[in-house]
Amino acid sequence: MFQITTFSSQMAAQNLKAQIDQQITALDDAARILKRQHNSLIPIARLVPEVLCHVFEYVRTAYLHAKSYGGRGITMRWVWVSYVCSGWRSIALGCPRLWNTIDMSYGNTWVREMITHSRGSPLYITGSLYESNVETLQSLLPRHIARLRKLSLSSRSHPGLFQLLDELPASSAPLLEHLSITLSPAHSLPTNVFSSGKSGSQLQQLSLHNCFFRWDLMMPMPVLTSLHVSYDSPMAVKPRVGQIVAALECMPHLEVLELMCIQFSIMDDGLKRPDQRTVHLPYLTFLRILDSSLDECCKLLDHFTFSQATRLELECTNAGALRGLSRLIPSLERWANRKHHARGMDPIVTKMECSFLAYRPQQVLTLWAPHTIDETPLLSPGLSYMEIDDEETVGSDMAALMSALPLENLEELRIRCFPGVVVDSGWLRPFMLLSTLVFQFCMEEEEDSGQEGIVPGSKAPFTLSYPVLSCLEIAECNLQNGEELLEALNDFLLERFEHGYGIRSLQLSSNVPIQQSWWSFCNIW
Q: According to the model, what pLDDT value does residue 271 have?
A: 54
The pLDDT of 212-238, averaged and rounded, is 86
Q: According to the model, what pLDDT value does residue 208 have?
A: 94
Q: According to the model, what pLDDT value does residue 182 have?
A: 93
Which of 21-25, 136-140, 464-468 ranks highest by mean pLDDT? 21-25
Q: According to the model, what pLDDT value does residue 121 have?
A: 92
Which positions ≥6 away from 328 have C-beta within 8 Å?
294, 297, 298, 301, 314, 381, 401, 404
Alpha-carbon distances of 263 from 103, 234, 296, 380, rounded to whole Å: 33, 7, 7, 20
CA geometry: angle 423, 432, 469, nearest 5 deg: 105
Q: According to the model, what pLDDT value does residue 446 have?
A: 34
Which string of b and e fits 409-438 if b means at least 16 CB within 10 Å?
bbbbbbbbbbbbbbbbbbbbbbbbbbbebe
Choice among 227-231, 387-391, 438-442 with the minimum mean pLDDT: 438-442
Name the pTM for this structure: 0.74
Pairing of strands 362-368, 379-385: antiparallel
Alpha-carbon distances of 509 from 400, 448, 491, 492, rounded to whole Å: 25, 39, 19, 18
38-67 tens-digit pLDDT: 877 777 777 888 888 988 888 888 877 765
The pLDDT confidence band at residue 467, using thresholds 50, 70 and 90, is low
Q: According to the model, what pLDDT value does residue 418 have?
A: 58
Q: According to the model, what pLDDT value does residue 323 have?
A: 53
Which positions ≥6 away from 491 have C-beta within 8 Å?
432, 462
Q: According to the model, what pLDDT value does residue 483 have?
A: 65
411-465 tens-digit pLDDT: 776 666 655 544 444 445 444 433 222 222 223 333 333 333 333 333 333 345 5
- Per-residue three-class SS string for 67-101: CCCCCCCCCCHHHHHHHCCHHHHHHHHCCHHHHCE
Q: Regarding predicted confidence, which is higher, 93 or 410? A: 93
Q: Is the pLDDT of residue 27 over 90?
A: yes
What stretches of 148-226 show up as alpha helix (H) in DSSP?
159-165
The pLDDT confidence band at residue 228, using thresholds 50, 70 and 90, is very high
For the chain, give the percent of residues with pLDDT over 90.
14
* Residue 347, burial from CB neighbour count under 10 angstroms (0-12, 13-18, 19+): middle
491-516 tens-digit pLDDT: 767 776 777 766 777 766 665 565 55
Instruction: Using alpha carbons, select from 251, 237, 253 the residue that is nearest to residue 285.
Output: 253
312-334 tens-digit pLDDT: 888 777 654 445 566 777 777 77
Amino acid (one-letter) located at 144: H
The pLDDT of 27-33, averaged and rounded, is 91
Tell me if the bond preceding 220 is cis, omega within 30° of 0. Answer: no
- Asked if residue 46 lies in contact with residue 88, where contact means CB atoms within 8 angstroms, the answer is no
Which of 350-354, 441-445, 474-478 ranks highest by mean pLDDT? 350-354
Which positions ≥6 away from 259 have C-beta within 8 Å?
229, 230, 288, 289, 290, 292, 300
Q: According to the model, what pLDDT value does residue 460 have?
A: 36
95-142 tens-digit pLDDT: 999 999 998 888 899 999 999 999 889 999 998 888 888 888 888 888
Round to whole Å and give the CA distance between 144 and 146. 5
Domain boundaries along the sequence of the chain: 45-99, 339-374+383-525
Round to whole Å and give the CA distance between 435 and 465. 9
269-327 tens-digit pLDDT: 555 565 665 788 889 888 888 888 878 888 888 888 877 778 888 877 765 444 556 67
Round to whole Å and give the CA distance between 298 and 328. 6
The pLDDT confidence band at residue 5, using thresholds 50, 70 and 90, is confident
